[in-house]
Structure 1
Amino acid sequence: MVLVTLLIAGVLIGTEAAIFPMALVATFGVARAMGAGPLRIILTVLVPEARGPLILGLTFVLVAPIDVSAVADTVGGGVGAWR
Structure 2
Amino acid sequence: MCGDTVHIYVITVVATVAPESIVDELQARGLQVKQVLAALGQIIGEGSEQVAAALRELDAVESVDAQQRYRAIDEGS
Bigger radius of gyration among the two = 1
Q: Return the structure number with greater helix share.
A: 1
Q: TM-score, normalised by structure 2?
A: 0.29
The structure showing larger relative contact order (alpha-carbon pairs under 8 Å, at least 6 residues apart) is 2
Q: Return the structure number with greater strand share.
A: 2
